[in-house]
Amino acid sequence: MSIFDIFKKKESAVNWNNAYKANPQFYSKPDGNPFCAFALTENTETILPRAPHYAVEGKELSDYKLMLVSTTKDGIVGDCDYFDAIKKLESFKLDSNNENILVKGLSLSEMEELLK
């Protein structure tokens, strides 16, 4: 190793291509107002948008949820406010850019902690 090797940028071991890219799903609340949800599945590296913004029928959405899906329990563990969850997911971040965050695959117990 030469003195110049310390100045070289380290290659990231993170491969965004192997991660699941969460897609927005749109639903209606009982009162008829739409909301957007993204799924985070147990033990699955996931790419989530930092600040999603969508419109339904020309109306900007203000309600975003993160749905936590367990393969152990074979169903939805729960949901939480998307923006609160993104802040908590920073501690599970593998990588990020201006638009997205790449989150490691979470265990069931880690997912349940997000709901607290």
Domain layout of the chain by residue ranges: 19-114
Q: What is the dihedral of CA 41, 44, 49, 53, to 10 degrees?
A: -20
Distance CA 5, CA 113 (A): 41
Which residues face 76 on adjacent strands? 69
pTM metric for this prediction: 0.85
Q: Show pLDDT as tens, one digit a residue, over the chain (116 residues).
A: 455 555 544 445 789 999 999 999 999 999 989 999 999 999 999 999 999 999 988 889 999 999 999 999 999 999 999 999 999 999 999 999 999 999 999 999 999 999 99
Distance CA 67, CA 70 (A): 10
- Answer whether 22's CB lies under 8 Å from 101's CB: no
pLDDT in tens, 82-104: 999 999 999 999 999 999 999 99
Q: Which helix (H) or strand (E) holds 89?
A: helix 82-89
